[in-house]
Structure 1
Amino acid sequence: MSALICGSFAYDTIMVFPGQFKHEILPDKVHMLNVSFLVPQLRREFGGCAGNIAYNLKLLGGAPLPMGTVGKDFDRYQEWLDRNDISRQYIKMIPEAYTAQAYITTDLDDNQITAFHPGAMNHAHEQPVPAKGVKIGTVSPDGREGMIQHAKQFFEAGIPFLFDPGQGLPMFGGDDLKSFLTQASYVAVNDYECEVLMERTGWSQKQIAERVDALIVTRGGKGASIFARGKVHEIPCAKADSLTDPTGCGDAFRGGLLYGLLKGLDWDTTGRIGSLLGAYNIERPGTQNHGFTIDEFRARFKAEFRYDFA
């Protein structure tokens, strides 16, 4: 059950603004924007897409192989991975760089403003995809050249992979995105990112879905839609006990997708596993602070969706 998860490792500095951005930003003055938000709450967390997805897949009993480049300040993160028995086999240290850093401010509407320093992530292309020992892969937000090369390497090795552009989407134009969509087996985006994909490629949602085995579009509190082989699977949003922090919910959902794909589950079940992982994530601050046993997860899944999974 090995999944090679190509993407970023980062330290997340997460701040919560106890208000709404829409009340602080004047739409007719965005050309001269100069705002400051008082953020009484601040946390520093382990993050990055590769780390987050791997953490969630590991909780389900999967065998994640996160792959990324990190910096000279990775010691604390390395200890965390070891405590959670997550492989560091494909993590490469770049001594002259810092590990990527994200500074995330969230408002009460779950909107986010993020500043990101890529650091060692810019060396992602120095890590090649191994040709053997991997059942499935992901190309998640990472260095630009790394994402391009890893997609090509997965494709040439015949390893199916999930294209998960996320916050890396602005780095690519239409031709780049068409290449990713031609090589990928699966694509996972949120509803806004799907609109960007369509605008930049000139392809409709239907045309994108026809080029891959499945197009997964998440819609926050409205659930998700999975377009696969001409059929649409509507995935409900799992009920969360509290709405503490949305940061990392998309990565949690993708951990569920990988689990379902590795186990050969149907799309309705796979999507619901991802949905429930997102609920666990949003109930706790940060992206790697939730936890459960597989029996606890199964019991909650059955209570939520009225059936069990294999």
Structure 2
Amino acid sequence: MRIAVTGSIATDHLMVFPGRFADQLITEQLDKVSLSFLVDHLEVRRGGVAANISFGLGRLGLRPVLVGAAGVDFAEYEAWLRAGGVDTGSVRVSETLHTARFVCTTDADQNQIATFYAGAMAEAREIELAPVVRRVGGLDLVVVAPNDPAAMLRHTDECRATGLPFAADPSQQLARLGAEETRRLVDGARFLFTNEYEAALLQERTGWTAAEVLARVGTWVTTLGENGVVITEEGGAELRVPAVPTADIKDPTGVGDAFRAGFLAGIVWQQPYERAAQLGCALATLVLESVGTQEYKPAWSDLLARIEDAYGAQAAREIAPHLPQLSPLPDPSTAGGAS
């Protein structure tokens, strides 16, 4: 099963505010917010939703096709992704613009305030999927992750027109999309990914009830943070999978992307949804314990131990044969990096 992941490729600027955002907000002045937060730490890392998902799939031994637009500064990042098993042959590299920038501040409660500069990502709307399909010899699933909105709509429409199965992952771009655009992104998806807040926002944007959304998608996967994930199909049947616990939280950025990578790997390996979600939750915890979205590096044996502790020995036994020879994950510090 070959997966193409369309979406953003970006550089992340991650900052930490030692206080609580909520303490700085005055209820009577919310219509005139003007705040500046003095942060203690800054980390500059590789990121972007599509790149993060692709990186996770690559680490799990798959060879995902990354489809997106990057800037004139992409060479080092591309080398990193290729070394991690990602096919970057369908990335459009701008001749004039820099790679997108994600600037995020996280407070002591793990709340985040972020902004995103599109940069070269705006050129993603020029990418057609048909040449990608021809180049790699066919695709079994296209993930439509947050991207230039016009690109997301183009990729979704092309998937529907050609019968390519696709996963809808509108995520943070829901804030930019109108009702009709949101409906176009969701309708006919094999998988729909949201977090809990996005699930409510999606229904508000589309005007559809949860049941109406489920009538239009195959499977709705909703991440619930520390409460794990719920997987729902038409008819109301729910599967709930708890998160893999940790007491070593470093940074929540990219946790959802890691979950998607693990879950999709499980689907490629023809695992039941429960096992796919368990792998996704375990990979998400590794990211939660790291600063940066692609910096996690424990051995596979540690990943399996976490799965066994959280879900039992049977879950670990069923997932283990699919991991790439139980070899250690490569250490990102040996492959160069953003600074």
TM-score by length of 2: 0.88
Find the aligned partners of 1:124 and 1:177 in 2 and give their Cα distance.
18
- Assess, with a 3 A threshold, how the Cα gap between structure 1 residues 241 and 66 changes in structure 2: closer, same or farther: farther
Cα deviation, residue 198, structure 1: 0.7
* Partner SS, residue 72 of structure 2: coil
Q: CA deviation at 1:52?
A: 0.5
Mapped partners of 2:276, 2:215: distance in 1:
20
Q: 1:166 aligns with which of 158, 171, 176?
A: 171
Aligned length: 310
SS in 2 for 1:183: coil
Distance 1:241 1:20 in 2: 20
2:206 matched residue in structure 1: 201
Give the direction of change, closer, same or farther, for the CA distance of 1:294–1:128 in structure 2 (3 Å limit). farther
In structure 1, the partner of 2:304 is 298
Per-residue deviation, 1:203: 1.0
Structure 1 position 146 matched with structure 2 position 146: no
AA matched with 2:239:
H
TM superposition shift of 1:304 = 2.1
Structure number with higher strand proportion: 1
Distance 1:92 1:263, change over 3 A: same
Q: Percent identity?
A: 32
Q: Which residue of 1 aligns with 2:6?
A: 6
Deviation of 1:280 (Å): 0.6
Q: Name the SS for the 2:215 alignment partner.
A: helix
Q: Shift in Å at residue 268 of structure 1?
A: 1.1
Residue matched to 2:18:
18
* Separation in structure 2 between the aligned mates of residue 250 and residue 62 of structure 1, nearest angstrom: 19
Query: For residue 111 of structure 1, what is the aligned residue in structure 2?
Result: 111
SS in 1 for 2:214: helix
Q: Which string of whole-angstrom CA distances, capped at 9 and with x for unpartnered residues, describes residues 213-232 of structure 1?
A: 10011111111110024310
CA contact (8 A) 1:4 1:65 kept: yes
CA positional deviation for 1:173:
1.3
1:213 paired to 2:228: no
Among candidates 235, 251, 261, match of residue 255 of structure 1? 261
Structure 2's unaligned 5+ residue stretches are 320-339
Question: How large is the RMSD of aligned CA atoms in angstroms?
Answer: 1.5
Deviation at 1:71, TM superposition (A): 0.7
Q: Cα 1:263–1:85, aligned 2, differ >3 Å: closer, same or farther?
A: closer
Is 2:196 the counterpart of 1:184?
A: no
- Opposite residue 21 of structure 1, the aligned amino acid is F
State the SS of the aligned residue for 2:15. strand
Structure 1 stretches of at least 4 aligned residues deviating more than 3 Å after TM superposition: 292-296
2-structure distance, mates of 1:210, 1:147? 21
How far, CA to CA, are the matches of 2:227 and 2:8 in structure 1?
A: 27
Q: 2:138 aligns with which of 133, 141, 146?
A: 133
Give matches, 1:83-94, under 5 Å.
Answer: 83-94=83-94
Whether the 8 Å contact between 1:59 and 1:292 is mirrored in structure 2 is no
Comparing 110-119 with 222-231, greater Cα deviation is found at: 222-231
Contact 1:47 1:287 in 2 (8 A): yes
In the alignment, which residue of structure 2 is the partner of 1:224? 229
163-172 or 242-251, larger mean C-alpha shift: 163-172
Distance in 2 of aligned mates of 1:172 and 1:260: 30
Q: Does 1:99 align with 2:99?
A: yes
Tell me what 1:265 maps to: 271
| Alignment check: 8 A CA contact 1:61 1:294 kept | no
